[in-house]
Amino acid sequence: MKRTNHIGSRQVGIVPALVLSFACAHALSFTKVDAETIVLEPARDATLFEDSTGATASGSGPGLFAGNNAGSNTRRALLLFDVAGEVPGGATVDSAELRLHVDSAPFPDSVSVSIHLATAIWGEGASRSNGGRGAPADTGDATWLHRHFPDELWSQAGGDFDPAGLDTLAVGPEGFVSWTGAALIQLVREWLDNPVSNYGLLLKGEEGAPSTVRRFDSREQEPGDLRPVLTVHFTPSATPTERTTWSALKALWRLESSARP
């Protein structure tokens, strides 16, 4: 009994040291992570065809259109990418690039095409048009007047979007084109951190003259390598891991030895 009391009195100052030493021995470190790249196809896409009735669409067609046709009727394209569903949470978005393939144009001259932040949710129905005139709108389609045909309207005809473009390119009559820049990168970061704010992008061509329209391949296009893609370069968040240091273990052993009667 006396021996127990004696040992207990000696350990009063040692126990905290043992605890501290154990904590040091099992220290946390952060594993170095490498940057990664992911290529996303649209979760949905659609074309808005200027139409006073709002009854024209092409939610499932192979083409997306932006610009004016020969009759100066405007087309605008919508695309949405599920960033938060594919890029791991907590990752740092380092860069982002939107790439589309131009399939055809009425004239060979280049025209300006800009990407804009869409500001309202919209749908993709089963309507399908192979050309630039559109098809009868189906339930759930985005049209010139509707976010979801036939009941839910845009706040303004032609879609709800931020008029300030994220990036603008001179687009020729064919080939691949890519939009990027700090504004797009920041937008992708926001989509990752706050997925409910992701309403996608609106593609807007030159709308002040006839025959400026560009036909881009959509997510339904075959072969698949011509479809729109959003390429995101990101660095995953570092994961803390437990490590044991030899120096801490030796200190723990010495303290334990000194505590023995």
Q: What's the CA gap between 227 and 53, in Å, rounded? A: 30
Question: How many whole angstroms separate alpha carbon 242 and alpha carbon 246?
Answer: 13
CA atoms of 40 and 216, how far apart (whole Å): 17
Residue in 128, 138, 3 with CA at minimum distance from that of residue 63: 128
Residue type, 17: A
Q: Which of 17-31, 49-63, 78-92, 157-171 is the least confident region?
A: 17-31
State yes or no: cis peptide before 62, omega within 30 of 0: no
Q: Which two tokens stand for residue 113?
A: 């095409």
| 155-206 pLDDT, tens digit each | 999 999 999 999 999 999 999 999 999 999 999 999 999 999 999 999 999 9
pLDDT tens digits for range 100-125:
999 999 999 999 999 999 999 999 99
What pLDDT does residue 11 have? Answer: 44
Give the pLDDT score at 105. Answer: 95
pLDDT of residue 238: 74
Measured CA to CA, the distance from residue 258 to residue 242 in angstroms comes to 27
Q: What is the mean pLDDT of residues 216-221?
A: 97
- CB-CB contact of 158 with 92 (8 Å): no
> Binning pLDDT at 50, 70 and 90, where does residue 91 land?
very high
Taken as a whole, the chain contains a residue count of 261
Q: Does 150 score more than 70 pLDDT?
A: yes
Structure tokens at 29: 């470190």
Residue 53 sits at φ, ψ, to 5 deg, of -90, -15
Asked if residue 242 has pLDDT above 70, the reply is: no
pLDDT of residue 188: 98
